[in-house]
Structure 1
């Protein structure tokens, strides 16, 4: 199953849930699903052999940090023995080379990440302990080596697919949390002089289980209004600059981008597929945006499907206030080179973060303030990102 097919499946199942208006229950696509966080040691034998042979550059040393993280962005259990998952793995700090040129010691880093699409099988060996193994596709992206004069690089870019396999043990702490001890491995790729990659970690899995009926009835009694559908028109502008984008990219809880948008207009449709009684809501959305770049005023457009994680932190009689985060919405961008910045490929991801309000007796009116970003998550070797400035969205809920 391709990644885009998974998103189509999620959207379709969410639509069914919406049609039946059972929004206090998790959508079918999310029931028996899970997310994972793993922290451990990554090992790969980067040496002088990865460097290009260039005159006037002499290898001195290489530093290979080992701390790394692996996230399972989405996993789904088909039954008690078989599941599928999408993962992302990268070191916390990059490999760093030191070299001598013109009598001066300089350094350059090598960035690398591994995206995975794997099948996981497990069997119980005790009441709360399972042993598992996984096998599937890994996409390795390597970007490194400072651009030297005449366009030379010390370490060439690499982007290739490979096997990804591993295994480990899982301890069921409670119905929602599993503790993990695991490892994953990808073989070397001689064509790119890429060493084998191994990762050993500990972590946890958070399981999404169907909401119990008594909890659903309790949530319905609270009586807060949760709009079912929302249509928005938005406008983006640099009238206040990129200060908000830069602030949140430095914290960091969001991203900037080397390519910058000057202005734009967007059209979005969302539907609410799940909400708790008070605070959390999950929406799925689709949208189209039309932008003008900041330097050369080049026009381009994007089309996206995306999730929205909404936290309704203030309920009052005249309005409800929320913050939201939308991440990794698969998108199409019509132009790859924007203001001479090569952003990668036309497949990318949309991210948004904002503050919003529903107001009026029936909560039919909506306004949002947000910032945005497009990038491909380093699944391609070029990923400088596109920065969307402060935007105002006006919406109607129904």
Structure 2
């Protein structure tokens, strides 16, 4: 296992760093298959980008997410995640660079295993997020970022209790730093 970690670390450190993107997020909406409504806010930091081609980038980052609900019990949890994010860009550039993105299988620690009536078996979970974004030209560069997405936490059925925790509408605003 140590040699795998050493190889992965070497590959990550050998790549040029071009990310350094800081985003704040907020959002909310109804939990599917439940009567509760969830809200979120948080912060994401993408620290590494691998450019596979002009149209495909992979970002690596970390995030802190606070989730709340209007249910009577278990009203708040916090999640700490590491995420890979695939960005898919169109062929043509425009006033800003639009793209589709997906975060999947981002290992996460959740502070409690229940939010409202949604239950996870333990404190291990995965973050998934899918949406549409744009890098907006500011000061002659694509410095600003606007993202609209759906965010989801679950344990991918690795454990018996796996009620997903969803926030159907999330906005991320950020910039390159």
Please tell me the TM-score bracket, short chain as reference. Answer: 0.7 to 0.9
**Which is higher, the Rg of structure 1 or of structure 2?**
1
Decide whether the 8 Å contact of 1:258 with 1:386 is kept in 2. Answer: no
Correspondence list, 1:317-336, <5 A: 317-336=94-113
User: Are 1:307 and 2:98 matched, yes or no?
Assistant: no
Once the two structures are TM-superposed, the CA of residue 7 in structure 1 deviates from its matched residue by 7.7
Question: TM-score, normalised on structure 1?
Answer: 0.40
- Give the conservation status (yes or no) of the 8 Å contact 2:38–2:166: no
Give unmatched runs, 5+ long, in structure 2: none
The residue number in structure 2 matching 1:70 is none
Equivalent residues in 2 for 1:72-221 (5 A)?
none
Residue 16 (structure 1) aligned with residue 13 (structure 2): yes
Higher relative contact order (CA 8 A, sep 6+): 2
Query: Structure 1 CA distance, aligned partners of 2:145 and 2:166?
Result: 24
CA RMSD of aligned residues (A): 2.7
Aligned-pair CA distance for 1:397: 1.1
Partner of 2:60: 284
What is aligned with 2:25? 234
CA deviation map 1:181-235 (0-9, x unaligned): xxxxxxxxxxxxxxxxxxxxxxxxxxxxxxxxxxxxxxxxxxxxxx522110000
Q: Which string of whole-angstrom CA distances, capped at 9 and with x for unpartnered residues, describes residues 304-343 of structure 1? A: 0010011012542421011011111110011112223322
Is contact 2:118-2:164 (8 Å) kept? no
* Partner SS for 2:89: strand
Q: Which of 114, 117, 125 lines up with 1:348 in the alignment?
A: 125
The alpha carbon displacement at 1:15 in A equals: 3.9
Higher strand share: 2
> Which residue of the other structure, out of 39, 43, 51, is the alignment partner of 1:267?
43
**Distance change >3 Å, CA 257–CA 306, structure 1 → 2:** farther
| Rounded Cα–Cα distance in structure 2 between residues aligned with 1:373 and 1:330 | 12
Structure 1, unmatched stretches of 5+, are 24-226, 243-255
